[in-house]
Amino acid sequence: MTFTTTTASNAISSIKSSWPQLQLTLYGDLNMRPFRNVWMLEEIGVSYHHVNCKPWSKQAKAVHPLGKVPALVVKDVDNQKQFTIVESAAINTFLGDLVREIDSNKRTNDDAGPSELLVPPPATHLRAKYDSLTLFIMTELDSQALWIHRKHSDLKDVFGEAPIAVTEAKRQFENALDAIEIELDDKSGYLLESGFSACDILLSNCCFWAQQIGWLARSPSDESTISTAGDTAMPKSLSPKLASYLAQCRRRSAFVKANELRKGQVSERKEHQRSKI
């Protein structure tokens, strides 16, 4: 399916003249990490094609060496070249760099403030912090925590059950979340002082993922978080600061559009399953 974003229609018209002739095709299930990339694509306001596919499917194996998702295939029509980017953080950083380099003075989203940069320029203080936070989120929150749960709980039939590893992964998540929450800027309300950026997509998505699996409370008043010290079975409490941060991320028009697309994908899948009965 091809999506032409409507969340940044003014931005599209302003960058059309300088946008290179690129065809963007994103591979992956929007209930997984590819959601982060659809959100970013909606933030920057460009047309793209989405191929809904699961990890290890024939379509995924065709564009990723390990058959994983997401993968973004970029076709340069003018120069008759094509390349593929894998890993959700790398894809979003590429997209942010691309839009910024085309015209750093043009708006990239109707929610954006005058100093907002989805991906800061290289060799700057902001870019150093962006890279640091992005790698921290992907290693400490995603791969060492949430992905361990996914592998050894949700996908235990494939990777094997490892309850001790999952328990330690939850502890890792809680410690890492405490560390990165400190980084939220009091003025901007986001991770960078300049405002919303691509690393906020990663952090908020990891938090939403944690809420779905019961690792993080859905609200500061969630009574299920009342537990004794050392209890690893209960969700981590949600601080008012983090709750406010996640709420403003959810309110972004690009997130709303991406979430609508995700829900549409779920509906299409259910309809397809019903048609087989």
pLDDT digits (tens, 9 = 90+) for 168-190: 999 999 999 999 999 999 999 99
Average of pLDDT values for 210-233?
A: 75
Residue 100, pLDDT above cutoff 60: yes
Per-residue pLDDT, 233? 75
Residue 108, pLDDT above cutoff 60: no
Per-residue pLDDT, 112? 45
Per-residue pLDDT, 168? 97
Query: Which band of pLDDT confidence, cut at 50, 70 and 90, is reported for residue 270?
Result: confident
Average of pLDDT values for 38-50?
A: 95
Query: Which band of pLDDT confidence, cut at 50, 70 and 90, is reported for residue 261?
Result: very high
Question: At 95, phi and psi to the nearest 5?
Answer: -65, -40
Residue 229, pLDDT above cutoff 70: no
Tokens 């065809």, residue? Answer: 23
Query: Which band of pLDDT confidence, cut at 50, 70 and 90, is reported for residue 269?
Result: confident
By CB atoms closer than 10 A (0-12, 13-18, 19+), residue 116 is: middle
Query: Which band of pLDDT confidence, cut at 50, 70 and 90, is reported for residue 275?
Result: low
> Mean pLDDT of all residues in the chain?
87
Query: Which band of pLDDT confidence, cut at 50, 70 and 90, is reported for residue 267?
Result: confident
